[in-house]
Structure formats: structure tokens, C-alpha cells
Chains A and B, each alone.
Chain A
Amino acid sequence: SQQGEEDPQALSIQEGENATMNCSYKTSINNLQWYRQNSGRGLVHLILIRSNEREKHSGRLRVTLDTSKKSSSLLITASRAADTASYFCATGRYYGQNFVFGPGTRLSVLP
């Protein structure tokens, strides 16, 4: 079974609105990472949050981590059409590396 599961599977918002995606996982982790994938392309790393951190910011991105609930959220503020992509969370398993990706959240930002 997959370690990370994103929710919702798909999200559609207007430009300028905030987008929130959630990730749940099952076992203990060293860190959790979020990646973005534009259609038909490879994944791009967005942000990493360590298990001893609760919140992290990077530009318009805000990630939270709740290890007691085994969940994380990714917030994109003031969304743009260019944010349209699939977003994946990834959690470490083998030797602390990030091997397990969830099925992703497909975000559509409408102009």
C-alpha cells in the first residue's frame, strides 16, 4: 500500500485564490517532501519539511506537518495559472530516502 496519499485528487480554483492540498501517510518518517509535475514532464522538488518541524515557508508555498496525525498540507497562496500542475507528497522509507509518492493532486487554476 502507498505511504503517501494526497487529497483531494483534483482541485479547481480561480486565479488569486488559495489552494490547499493534503497528504496522509502511514509509518514514521524522517522528512516529507512536496513535488510538482507539469503535464507530461518530470517532477520538480518544491519543499522539504523535517519530522521535527511543524511549518515551513517558501515564497507562496506553506507546508505544515503534523506527525501525530501523520499528515501534511501544502498551501499555495494567491494562485496563478502557471501553478496548474499535479502535486505529489513523498515520504522516506528505505534508508531514509524519499521513495514513496502518492497518486497526486491535480490542481487547475483558471484565469
Chain B
Amino acid sequence: DVKVTQSSRYLVKRTGEKVFLECVQDMDHENMFWYRQDPGLGLRLIYFSYDVKMKEKGDIPEGYSVSREKKERFSLILESASTNQTSMYLCASSFAQRGGTQYFGPGTRLLVL
């Protein structure tokens, strides 16, 4: 069965802290994605990766960085958390084929105080 896991379901951090969100998939997918979801805005792509050590900016990469050292793991890093980064963060993965179905993790709800 397809499995995408995220390191935390809920996270509370303070402004200025460095935050790591981790995502692991067990399906040998080439592609991995990080989205944030805010009410009324839907999902917005932050970064994606199509291979180990490869990354591409999505629509809203400012304030975020990512790391993909292993195929199964894709990390999202908030270098200095700010209150406007309070959001639901969703990780997804897919095969590299064109239009591959994305499989999502359960999400991490991050609150930055």
C-alpha cells in the first residue's frame, strides 16, 4: 500500500526558529513535492524534486529551502520561521511519468507564534 509519512501532525514554533519538516515515501517515487495549504487559496507549490539532490522552485519558494539527500526523503526547511508561515504543509510524491498521480501525506499543521 502506498505510504507517505510526515514527521509531525502538529507543530508549534516561535518566530525566528529554524524548522524542519520531513517527508518519507516508500514507493520508490522519483518526484516529491511540498505544498502549503491556506483557506481560500488551495494548495500552492513551494518546491519539488525530481531526483536525489535535485530541486526546483515552485510558486512560493521565498522563506523556504529543501533537501533531498535520499530518494525516499524530502525535507522542507524554514530558515527563520515567521508568523505568515503558519499553515498546513502537505508533502506528496509521484512517479516521473507525465501526469503521474500524486500521493499525499497526512499534512503538518504548523503554528508560528
Residues of A within 8 A of B (CB): 2, 30-31, 33, 35, 40-45, 48, 50, 88, 90, 92, 94-104
Contacts and interface: CB of A to CB of B under 8 A. Distances in A.
A41 B92 CA distance: 12
Given A33-B102, A98-B100, 15 more contacts: A30-B98, A31-B98, A40-B88, A41-B106, A42-B90, A42-B104, A42-B106, A42-B107, A43-B102, A48-B101, A90-B102, A92-B98, A97-B48, A99-B45, A102-B42
Interface string B83-113: 0000010101010001111111111010000
Nearest to B107: A42
A97 B92 CA distance: 12
B99 A98 contact: yes
B33 interface: yes
B40 A103 contact: yes
A97 B31 contact: yes
Nearest to A47: B101
